A and B are shown apart, each in its own frame.
Chain A
Amino acid sequence: MITSFLLRSLDRSIVTVVAILLGLAVAIPALNLLTAPDHPLHVPTYLVSLFGKYLTYALLALALDLVWGFCGILSLGHAAFFALGGYAMGMYLMRQIGARGSYGNPMLPDFMVFLNWKELPWFWQGFDMFWFAALMVVLVPGLLAFVFGWFAFRSRVNGVYLSIITQAMTYALLLAFFRNDMGFGGNNGLTDFKDILGFNIQAPGTRAALFAASAVTLALCLVLTTAIVRSKYGKVLVAVRDAESRTRFLGYRVEHIKLFAFTVSAMMAGIAGALYVPQVGIINPGEFEPGNSIEVVIWTAVGGRGTLIGPIVGAILVNGGKSIFTAAFPEFWLFALGGLFVFVTLFLPKGVVGTVSAYLARRKAHRRAADAENARDNLVAEPMAAE
């Protein structure tokens, strides 16, 4: 049942994007590992990690699109779920360091030794096991989203008020994680990772594998979100976005409908964060910065809200632009980003992907009409000509 649920709603554009992602998952690692450094097609390891980072951002934007594009919940706190997933992965990576830290303590990470802690806090237990950390990557953001959403949606907090409290949520987490007593490394966060699943985290092979994992995960999540939004539940989501009280008077529990999407979305954001941390090598409270969540909204808007493919394209375009821009004209990047958002809002309200697909649909309708006309003119009575 699950397979048919996942597969029945795929269309050509989604299949194409999934195929591209799976192709990249093979091609980029191959070009990195199998070609000599002076080969013209060689992809250096730093680029592999950079592209991998873009893909985790794309996954975060996809997660946001599920709630914002389809249900109208403008969450300005999605970076918090991303960071929580990242911290869960970071804790696993810290425990993998073992006695190789500067203080050589086999149990405690360096920052705890530095703070004179004698034993591992209870919430660090279990993170030496990958499966446990992987579970926490989805459970912690999922649980936070569930509890937060439960109260917010039940009290019918909507629109800009909801956006503001999601900002408050991520800001509160930022302040909390800055404190040393919280036990998450305070200001410095978690870093100096050595191994993941027994492999050296710096090795090109591991980097390539992390890239491939990011691409495959993004493809799987794209299939999952497509299945969700094309199901009847997805239609209810859009119904809530367009006419919430009508949906309620039809007998749908709007708060449950929103809560499910919000929780699934937060879990996907957590997975994105968990893939991000080993590729950039650090997680610190800066990831909770309110501005980060707003940037995700910009990526999604640029790519095209409510299109699923749009946020992926948007995240890669904007972050690619950011990498190039900040190297070439570092002081102008923020102006460029702000200008881009204004431009897209004014001139491409459907985003890049939305605009292109609207253009293609129009051209197709046009051609169909022209064909039908020709068929009439030529008095060809074949129904096939109208196709």
Chain B
Amino acid sequence: MIQTINQTKPKSLLYLDGVSVSFDGFKALNSLSFVIEPGELRAIIGPNGAGKTTMMDIITGKTRPDEGQVFFKGDIDLTQRDEAEIANLGIGRKFQKPTVFESHTIWDNLELALNRRRGVFPTLFYRLTADDKARIEEILSTVRLSARRDDLAANLSHGQKQWLEIGMLLAQEPELLLVDEPVAGMTDAETAETAILLKEIARTRSVVVVEHDMGFIRELGVKVTCLAEGSVLAEGSIDFVSSDPKVIENYLGR
């Protein structure tokens, strides 16, 4: 097992090995290991408290693991870097609760997310170029918000905020996208559209989706990892995972 994982490390986009972290004695992650390939779309499921959000916190630098290795693109050690550095390396994250800049317009939200130099002075003297404009227009139409570009983000519906946040992640041009419950609170029609959108996005980059909605995951039709109590319980196709007796007992059965 160890050997195979070491062989896959240089080729993988994201590589977690034996990651553990505990908060006040509670083991949130317990020797978690898995690998994401370049261009892969992966769904992660699991009961509440399985460590899904903690895993994202570790990958994006918000939490430091007590032990274990986290590597990006083979040899970049993520445990030594902070959020901003990791974001600039090309890992984007969508929060569980849609988080956009409410007092900015939709356009400004995307402009801020755009993958340009983010220091104090580059932003102070930044001017919107024709290229950047075209890119923002393109993202606006991808997330279907073109008509509302000048509205404040605060005035969007819940589902539209989720989409705007996905649009912001696209503007960031990450190689790996971590998406936490993208369809929570969405209508069925919005959910179906989001599945199409995520599949579209996954054509050019890797995406990890954490979701509870089994219908949505079936719609995505991708490899599924089921977490429970901080480690991997089962991994495979949705049919394989959902017929696993351990998964049924720990998650689906409840």
- B201-227 near A? 1/0 per residue, CB < 8 Å: 000000000000000000000000000
For B84, give its contact among A239, A243, A253 (CB under 8 Å). Answer: A253
Q: Give complex CA distance A249, B108 in Å.
A: 17
Proximity string of chain B (183-201) to chain A, C-beta cutoff 8 Å, 1 when within and 0 when not:
0000000000000000000
CB pair A232–B112 under 8 Å, yes or no, is: yes
CB neighbours of A248 from chain B (8 A): 83-84, 87
Q: How many A-B residue pairs have CB under 8 A?
A: 76
Note all chain A residues with C-beta closer than 8 A to B62. Answer: 245
Among A233, A242, A250, point to the contact of B168 (Cβ < 8 A). Answer: A250
A257 at the interface (CB under 8 A from B): yes
Known A250-B172, A251-B118, A252-B118: A231·B84 in contact at CB below 8 Å: no
Within 8 Å CB of A247, what residues of B? 112
Confirm or deny: B123 has a beta carbon within 8 angstroms of a beta carbon on chain A.
yes
Contact A236 B112 (CB under 8 A): yes
Which residues from B are CB-within-8-Å of A249?
Answer: 60, 83, 87, 92-93
Interface size class of B (residues with CB under 8 A): 20 to 34
CB of A238 within 8 A of CB of B104, answer yes
What's the least CB distance linking B170 to chain A, in Å? 12
By a CB distance below 8 angstroms, the chain B residues around A246 are: 95, 99-101
Looking across the interface, which residue of chain A has its beta carbon closest to that of B87? Answer: A251
| B124 touches which of A231, A239, A251 (Cβ 8 Å) | A231
- 0/1 per residue, A15-47, Cβ < 8 Å to B? 000000000000000000000000000000000
Rounded to whole Å, the gap between the CB of A195 and the closest CB of chain B is: 39
Contact indicator B120/A231 (Cβ below 8 Å): no
A379 within 8 Å of B (CB atoms): no
Given contact pairs A248-B83, A248-B87, A235 touches B108 in the complex (Cβ within 8 A)? yes
Residues of A within 8 A of B95 (CB): 245-246
Instruction: List CB contacts (< 8 Å) of B152-183 with chain A.
Output: 168, 172
C-alpha gap A5/B124 in the complex (Å)? 9
* B240 at the A interface (CB under 8 A): no
CB-CB contacts below 8 Å: A165-221 with B: none
User: Is B25 in the interface zone, CB < 8 Å from A?
Assistant: no
A235 near B124 with CB under 8 A, answer: no
Interface residues of A in 236-289 (CB under 8 A from B): 236, 238-239, 242-243, 245-254, 256-257, 260
Tell me the smallest distance from the CB of B9 to a CB of chain A, in Å. 25
Among A232, A238, A254, A256, point to the contact of B101 (Cβ < 8 A). Answer: A238
Q: Which of these, A228, A238, A250, A256, contacts B119 with CB under 8 Å?
A: A256
Is A1 in the interface zone, CB < 8 Å from B?
yes
Q: A248-B83, A250-B112 in contact; A242/B103 too (CB < 8 A)?
A: yes
B17 partner residues in chain A, CB cutoff 8 A: none
Q: Assess the A231–B102 pair: CB atoms within 8 A.
A: no
CA distance A303 to B62 in the complex (A): 38
User: A residues within 8 A CB of B233?
Assistant: none
Closest to B91 in A: A249
Residue of A whose beta carbon sits closest to that of B92: A249
Q: How far is the CA of A247 from the CA of B103 in the complex (A)?
A: 14
The answer to whether the Cβ of B125 comes within 8 Å of any Cβ in the partner chain is: yes
Question: In the bound complex, do residue B172 and residue A251 qualify as a contact, i.e. CB atoms below 8 Å apart?
Answer: yes
With CB as the reference atom, state the residue of chain A lying closest to B93: A249
Instruction: Please name all residues of chain A whose beta carbon is closer than 8 Å to the beta carbon of B87 when the two chains form the complex.
Output: 248-251
A254→B83 CA distance, assembly (Å): 10
Q: Which residues of B contact A231 (CB under 8 A)?
A: 123-126
Cβ-closest chain B residue relative to A255: B84
By a beta-carbon cutoff of 8 Å, the part of chain A in contact with chain B is 1, 5, 228, 231-233, 235-236, 238-239, 242-243, 245-254, 256-257, 260
List the 10 shortest-distance A-B pairs measured between CB atoms, nearest first: A251-B87, A232-B126, A233-B123, A233-B124, A251-B88, A248-B83, A232-B123, A246-B99, A260-B120, A239-B101
Interface residues of B, Cβ cutoff 8 Å to A: 60, 62, 83-84, 87-88, 92-93, 95, 99-104, 108, 111-113, 118-120, 123-126, 168, 172
